[in-house]
Structure 1
């Protein structure tokens, strides 16, 4: 029996979280003194690691391979889960004095099967000639997406009631697609081909992050960025809003909503996608 994709999704989250805790325990065990006081903390590193689940649906247009016809994609989170092989999301946030940095990494591996036909003529790499109009196609698409957002910045407002960080950095995209197609038509008979393509690009970013404590345990956080600016044929933006609850000095949880949009059209590749949905994270501080 095929393992549930949801179980794989949760397993990645669990393993990421406990490996983060193990690393944090190793870090503190190597220190020759206790954690810094509040006064010392202003000049010491403050670090936190947050594995999270993102129940994102996606909508947009993609080309499965270079110069291919653009395909419309519209999937709910349940559809994404059905196609998911493995996925993982993790965020690292750090601060020293008023200088801040963040790293957010997302990896998703999916498989999707299509039975389409008839379709217009087009050339698939691996076929000796264009697929004739009216051909019946069966296709399987395996895709991998790695997105890493790295930002650094400065805390321009630092008060007990409110903090505001201005950020700058870059978002790295890597897309890998493996497509297998069987085409049937009286003019060509039945032909099968397989093709793999990889492409990547980097988007410069500017952003902000605001943090608003409500009580000692409850707080709100909003983060947004925008970038691309046409560099490499791309535009991108993202937003994240969460409510956070602190359980202890080390552990807190967050729940909210996240959206990520990218519009890439360059060199025959089209990747115009918006992902959005609720998020749930567990943070370990050290």
Structure 2
């Protein structure tokens, strides 16, 4: 984690988020021959994004925070990630949720931001950061294309993002800590709200037994945010017991320059397993 000089939070999460969506990126599950039956799919996955963003926070001199995938793995406090799909003939629905709580800190540092902002001689910095996020998507879909090798669904729904960052800092000198407000402080900035989204998702199957597939997903929306969009693609393998998949996903939010949190981005790999019945 780094704390350079601007008022930005470079945190690439997830969201991981999403935090977000193995069932969003998952293939359809209904076959043409049994259109009157419901088919279900549940998945468990790990999303390891980088999280970037701009935040307006009253930190003396400004602060930039960077949380990458290594921080998520080594400093993860708690996480829950999963998704669900249901399909009957041409109609279906899906839902996906990611929750994560990530913490990181620096101690006795003579500079902020990997040495880019050196402190006065003898002054050191202690700082800690906590990033918490929930990303939840729910939508209904219509199967626009269904062939032996390809499925394409169009959908409409809503996405919730609830994210907060909490930063504490303290500057020490040989004579002891600097007094507030310049020497120490704490600030918490949060953002939550729903956006309507529309998009398309599907898969292309290939291989001698169609056991390989390429999932893809794209959406765009607005509401509480000025603009949100998401895209993902990757590769998966279908075995007798279920499926495995590896995808790359990007989720982006633009809240507007007048907001405390101006924008957030989640960009990184997701890997998981899925079971259908």
Give the TM-score, by structure 2 length: 0.70
1:199 aligns with 2:191: yes
Query: For each residue in 1:153-195, what CA deviation from the matched residue of structure 2 results, as whole angstroms up to 9, or x when unmatched?
Result: 2111122232111011111011133333335699x95245445
Alignment of 1:7-18 (within 5 A): none
- Within the candidate set 75, 78, 90, 1:83 is matched to 75
1:66–1:44 Cα change, 3 Å: farther
SS in structure 2 of the partner of residue 200 of structure 1: strand
Per-residue deviation at 1:109? 0.6
Per-residue deviation at 1:71? 4.3
Is the 2:36–2:88 contact (alpha carbons within 8 Å) kept by the matching residues of 1? yes
- Within the candidate set 222, 225, 231, 2:219 is matched to 225
Is the 1:184–1:190 contact (alpha carbons within 8 Å) kept by the matching residues of 2? no
1: distance between equivalents of 2:250 and 2:126?
32
Alignment of 1:21-170 (within 5 A): 39=33, 41-58=34-51, 60-63=52-55, 65=57, 71-114=63-106, 138-170=126-158
Whose radius of gyration is greater, 1 or 2? Answer: 1
Query: For each residue in 1:55-113, what CA deviation from the matched residue of structure 2 results, as whole angstroms up to 9, or x when unmatched?
Result: 3223x333274799864444442233233222232121221121121112111111122
Higher relative contact order (Cα pairs below 8 Å, separated by 6+ residues): 2
- Within the candidate set 217, 223, 228, 1:236 is matched to 228
Q: Quote the residue 1:253 is aligned against.
A: 244
1:282 aligns with 2:273: yes
Give the TM-score, by structure 1 length: 0.68
> Which protein is richer in helix relative to its size?
1
1:64–1:140 Cα change, 3 Å: farther
Give the RMSD, CA atoms, in angstroms: 3.3
Q: Quote the residue 1:211 is aligned against.
A: 203
Structure 2, unaligned stretches of length 5 or more? 1-29, 113-119
Is the 1:101–1:153 contact (alpha carbons within 8 Å) kept by the matching residues of 2? yes
1: distance between equivalents of 2:187 and 2:261?
17
